[in-house]
Amino acid sequence: MAKTYLDTVKYVVKARIDVDGLVEKPDVVGAIFGQTEGLLGEDLDLRELQKSGRIGRIEVELENKNGKTTGVLTVPSSLDKAETAIIAAALETVDRVGPCEARITVETIEDTRAKKREYIIQRAKELLRKLIEEKMPESKELADMVRAEVRQAELVEYGPEKIPAGPEVDSAEEVIVVEGRADVLNLLKHGFKNVISLKGAKIPKTIIELSKKKTITLFIDGDRGGDIIAKQLAEVAEIDFIARAPDGKEVEELTRKEIIKALRNKLPTHQYLSSRGLEDRHKKREHREERREHHHTSHEKRDESSQEESKIIAVFPEVKDKMKAVFLDKNLKPLKETSVTQMIKEIQGIDNAYALVFDGIVTQRLVDLASKKGIKYLVGLKAAKIKPGQVRVLIAQP
């Protein structure tokens, strides 16, 4: 027997039905279950979802007039937003009710939590206003209020699409891409200003162009929808890393500790997609060939210059955990020392460096710039996906 009550209703699907004939409520419900059975697999089968209480009773309101039937369908859901959207789309595949032709059109998917949040915000404002009127706030309360206003003010509209973003997208070498505006606000709240959102379902051209110039980390929600976004974005943009919120959580609700942990555990894009079964066979084969080619090239070069590389890598402990960078000359002597934040600027102004050892991630942009300046070796803590070239990339062992 289907459950009629859900402990937590996250979304409500509302759809219109038009039938070329006279039908009743049981006919409509029966048609929906019958024509969607086996369509989406066991995990998203409507009967099973109702039995487990993840989809509530399908409510039907009908009106018979002039030999035709029109009405409204309401489907409560406790699934995540991606799964709810799939169920909604499945409703539109129903094309007959009994012997009559029918059309179901989904009009809205309401987020019930959004309404609750609106009520909470309004009620909180009223309570806060009353508290302020009745009592002077403590210093900490005043500071928190000021900080909240500042964080809201830091939100900017970036690019021609006016994408919600933090104020340091242009100045930062590395940029965090999140799914929506609420995610941007949460990261701003916790001090991350190099963040920008995808804004909506369609990937903005601004994000694609930005990925060609910056090191991009995609930070997704811990659900199936996040994985779908990761796969779609990786197909059109140059995404270097992917970080994922804990299972079942959204980026907009994470604490600072959870955000830092998720970003620290980010993976190179191809490795993440492969681990989640999201890479197609062509891409998997391409990555295997690249790894074999890179391994073969690295092996040959190690045989020729292992002693020199060992000396260069031996410099890494001097910069580790210090956010520093050291340029070496051909004799492997220190040529110049700088901070990682100033490293790009220093590379552009140096002409006789042979190697660069730094406490950070080796990116394709850095490799390209080093190649132009004649630098032969780059030594870092980690490396993004790098195309084979003239610059030898070495990864320092922890």
Question: Per-residue pLDDT for 153 more than 90?
Answer: no
The ranges of the chain annotated as CATH 3.30.70.360 are 11-113
Rg (CA), the chain: 28
The average pLDDT across 215-223 equals 94
Question: Per-residue pLDDT for 62 more than 90?
Answer: yes
- Percent of the chain past pLDDT 90, that is, above it, reads 50
C-alpha distance from residue 223 to each of 58, 82, 87, 288 (Å): 25, 8, 16, 27
Q: Residues 314-366: pLDDT tens digits?
A: 999 898 888 899 999 999 999 999 998 889 889 988 989 999 999 888 888 89
Q: How far is CA 289 from the centre of its chain?
A: 27
> Which residues, other chains included, contact 224 with Cβ-Cβ below 8 Å and sequence gap of 6+?
80, 82, 83
Residue 2's pLDDT band (cuts 50, 70, 90): very low
- Choice among 168-182, 216-230, 353-367, 378-392 with the minimum mean pLDDT: 378-392
DSSP string, 135-173: SPPPHHHHHHHHHHHHHHHH-EEETTTTEEE-TTTTT-S
Residue 115's pLDDT band (cuts 50, 70, 90): confident
Q: Report pLDDT for 139.
A: 60
Output the CATH code of domain 304-395.
Answer: 3.40.140.20
- Look over the chain and give the mean of its residue pLDDT values, rounded to a whole number: 85
pLDDT higher at 142 or 393: 393
> Which residues, other chains included, contact 221 with Cβ-Cβ below 8 Å and sequence gap of 6+?
179, 244, 245, 249, 250, 251
Residue 336, both tokens:
């110049």
In 3D, which of 216, 201, 21, 178 has the Cα closest to residue 101? 21
The average pLDDT across 197-210 equals 87
Residue 119's pLDDT band (cuts 50, 70, 90): confident
The average pLDDT across 279-305 equals 51
DSSP string, 315-366: TGGGTTTTTEEEEE-TTS-EEEEEEGGGHHHHHHT-SS--EEEESSEE-HHH
Neighbours of 137 (CB within 10 A): 13
The average pLDDT across 41-65 equals 90
Predicted TM-score (pTM) of the model is 0.40
Q: Which fold has domain 11-113?
A: Alpha-Beta Plaits (3.30.70)
Q: Which residues of 174-196 are buried (b: 16+ CB within 10 A; e: fewer)?
A: ebbbbbbbbbbbbbbbeebbbbb
The ranges of the chain annotated as CATH 3.40.140.20 are 304-395
The ranges of the chain annotated as CATH 3.40.1360.10 are 136-279
Q: Which fold has domain 136-279?
A: Dna Topoisomerase Vi A Subunit; Chain: A, domain 2 (3.40.1360)
Q: Report pLDDT for 114.
A: 81
